[in-house]
Structure 1
């Protein structure tokens, strides 16, 4: 295995950083594979629901696709709960961080806020407020997050729902997660009305 010569970054050479750049580009190119692996791992994640976390994600993405959502929102519906295992109390923010470099800010915002918006459906059952999402009514992406949560996420726990398999979404994931990171033309793009 090739390694750098330094033990402190400040002592690295041009050759060291060229090596790291080459290895990082390879690593970045493999991101869709890692996302697929992490989605598969949701099959054996948080228990207690009628469906696995993977099936929940597949249902949300299938619902989004069948509802006519664009590809960025479908991808977001698929990966929105990837943070469940590593960051259960702020899983939405972790998932938003994963997708942020590759999609418009509207999509990132919906993923980041979905945990808060979901409380409208069950907060009263656990002693939490159900109206906290209303403080964001003036946000231009409010309705996108409402649709995301109401129509796709909170409804995606049905063991009889005919969701599409993960392989169906793989080309979409590969397309989204191989885009140039933080492309200004993508980040500020608005969804077609």
Structure 2
């Protein structure tokens, strides 16, 4: 790489454009793969969980970034189950507001409130983030959209409903400051 010229890298940049333009398609493919497996003990697939979370977010009046964040909050689970929250956040981070990415990145530790005590773990581990400006949003995200979205009888919207939203978000310019809005904390619901 160190021997590459400016012309080499401009050529590579141009050649990468078609691949980058297919990011939304790859994300949607990963979601579909998540629908092929129901983990032992669960009554719905990871895809159904994401769809249910996004459906709840949309019905609560959340905006596009929150809906897509809810849909994709566990997208990293297939490859990185022990740190799926951070991996999921990295998938969406270039394309959504920073607070949405922060919530997705930290939802795993916030979810421990509901189950950690059953394993002898600290269910209040999230308290180390108590002074973070996104703490309340993350707690509410988990309460409203994540922990409640394992219901096989919930009237969940299909993936086709959310596909245009995923395409819209991943069509944005990556790391656009106008999109990321660093430091701004949005409302979870309208």
Structure 1 length normalisation: TM-score?
A: 0.91
Q: Matched residue of 2:128: which SS?
A: helix
Instruction: Give the equivalent residue in structure 1 for 2:163.
Output: 170
* Displacement after TM superposition at 1:18 (Å): 3.0
Q: Give the Å deviation of 1:69.
A: 1.2
Cα offsets for 1:12-34 (capped at 9, x unmatched) = 34443233111211111110000
Deviation at residue 10 of structure 1 after TM alignment: 2.8
* Count of residues in correspondence between the two structures: 185
Q: 5+ residue gaps in structure 1?
A: 1-8
5+ residue gaps, structure 2: none
Alignment partner, residue 4 of structure 1: none
Deviates more, 1:17-26 or 1:32-41: 17-26
The higher-RCO structure (CA 8 Å, 6+ apart) is: 2
Deviates more, 1:125-134 or 1:31-40: 125-134
| Aligned residue number for residue 6 of structure 1 | none
Report SS of the residue matched to 1:111. Answer: helix
Instruction: Give the aligned partner of residue 160 of structure 1.
Output: 153
Distance 1:10 1:135, change over 3 A: closer
Query: Equivalences for 1:43-54 in 2 at 5 Å?
Result: 43-45=35-37, 47-48=39-40, 49-54=42-47
Between 131-140 and 106-115, the greater mean CA deviation after superposition: 131-140
Rg larger in structure:
1
Give 1:140's match in structure 2, choosing from 133, 140, 151: 133
Instruction: Please report how far the alpha carbon of residue 45 of structure 1 lies from its aligned counterpart in structure 2 after TM superposition.
Output: 3.7
Answer yes or no: is 1:25 the counterpart of 2:17: yes
Report the CA distance between 1:68 and its aligned residue: 1.2
Q: Does 1:41 align with 2:36?
A: no
Alignment-derived partner of residue 109 in structure 1: 102
Say what the alpha-carbon RMSD is for the aligned residues: 1.5
TM-score norm. by structure 2 comes to: 0.92
Q: Which residue of 2 aligns with 1:81?
A: 74
